[in-house]
Amino acid sequence: MSSPQIQLALWILQPAMQALVAVVMFRRKLYKDFPVFFAFILVQIAIFAVEFPIYRLGFEEVYFYVFWSAAALNLILDFKIIHEVFLDIFRPYHALKDLGTALFKWAALIMILISVVLISTSPGWNDPVAETIVIIQRCVRVVQCGMVLFLLAFCKHLGVSWRRQSFGVVLGFGIYAATELLTTALHSGRHIHSSTLNFVNMGVYNLGVALWTWYSFMNRKQVRIPVLVPQRWDEALNDIQPRSESESLIPMFEHMVDRAFSKAQDTHA
């Protein structure tokens, strides 16, 4: 088989493997714990159902808009999946979950600002929308790689087993993200051809889907190991949180700021 035929086979294989992941997650009711990831899998199958006929019929202009629209949608889902995995890891620690939610919102804003700055300083693309998607996508890929390193480094400290579904989700995305960043850099430096870029990325993505399938079949119901360090962090955040507002950390930050201002006023007085 030639390289284009292999790439086509890898592309067609993706929705079949994703459908298997969706069926297993649905039958084992994993979609209740990971609704965004489950939605991501279904969206990928729907995107293939739209993109593949357009590509085969040769509607290049239509395929261009469909491709980048799908990339923008995947970008949103990728970031929400990172947040979903983070919440699953810190599920027993409510204050840390609230803090993580606030940090992810700020991270999303920072990514958008970085993309705006990079676009304004490097006017090399004909389509600014596509450039924005690519830049934010690379930021998300870096975050996905960071999540893998985070879990590998702190899974024992957090009592998270490598058999958990969240670990498999992050591992699949992380391997693909690292490969995409590496191949894109090599392609930008003209060290590899675009056909090699597509072949490697599609093959590694299929490997990630295979990992998701395997983790979906595994027994996810692992007993969490009691650990003291996250519990101390969570208790410390709860101690400084206002008692009347126990569901969010935003009032806690406001309370801390008010205390700082009151102390400053007492000092001047």
Helix (H) or strand (E) holding 63: helix 60-89
Which residues of the chain are under the pLDDT cut of 50? 223-229, 237, 240, 243-249, 253, 257, 260-261, 263-264, 267-268
Same domain, 72 and 187: yes
Of 127, 124, 140, residue with least CA distance to 188: 124
Residue 232 three-state SS: helix
d(C-alpha 48, C-alpha 14), whole Å: 9
pLDDT at position 205 is 95
d(C-alpha 150, C-alpha 80), whole Å: 17
pLDDT at position 226 is 47
pLDDT at position 247 is 47
Total domain count for the chain?
2
pLDDT at position 162 is 77
- SS3 for 165-220 is HHHHHHHHHHHHHHHHHHHHHHHHCCCCCHHHHHHHHHHHHHHHHHHHHHHHHCCC
Same domain, 132 and 19: yes
Same domain, 180 and 246: no
Q: What is the pLDDT of residues 187-244, one digit of tens each?
A: 888 888 888 888 999 999 999 999 999 998 885 555 444 444 455 555 554 554 554 4
d(C-alpha 92, C-alpha 88), whole Å: 9
Same domain, 110 and 203: yes
Contacts of 193 (CB under 8 A, 6+ apart): 187
Same domain, 72 and 149: yes
pTM for the whole thing?
Answer: 0.76
pLDDT at position 142 is 82
d(C-alpha 159, C-alpha 223), whole Å: 9
Same domain, 254 and 122: no
Same domain, 55 and 88: yes
Same domain, 164 and 250: no
pLDDT at position 229 is 47
Residue ranges making up the domain that contains 248: 228-269
Show the CA angle centred on residue 166, arms to residues 163 and 171, nearest 5°: 80
Q: How many residues does this entry show for the chain?
A: 269
pLDDT at position 123 is 56
Same domain, 233 and 130: no
pLDDT at position 191 is 85
CB 199 within 8 A of CB 7: yes
CB atoms closer than 10 angstroms to residue 30: 19
Of 209, 182, 216, residue with least CA distance to 196: 182
Contacts of 9 (CB under 8 A, 6+ apart): 1
Same domain, 175 and 261: no
pLDDT at position 107 is 67
Same domain, 16 and 141: yes
Domain boundary among the residues 224, 241, 261 is at 224
pLDDT at position 269 is 52
CATH of the domain at 46: 1.20.1070
- Lookup: tokens for 161: 């087993």
Same domain, 258 and 204: no
DSSP 162: T
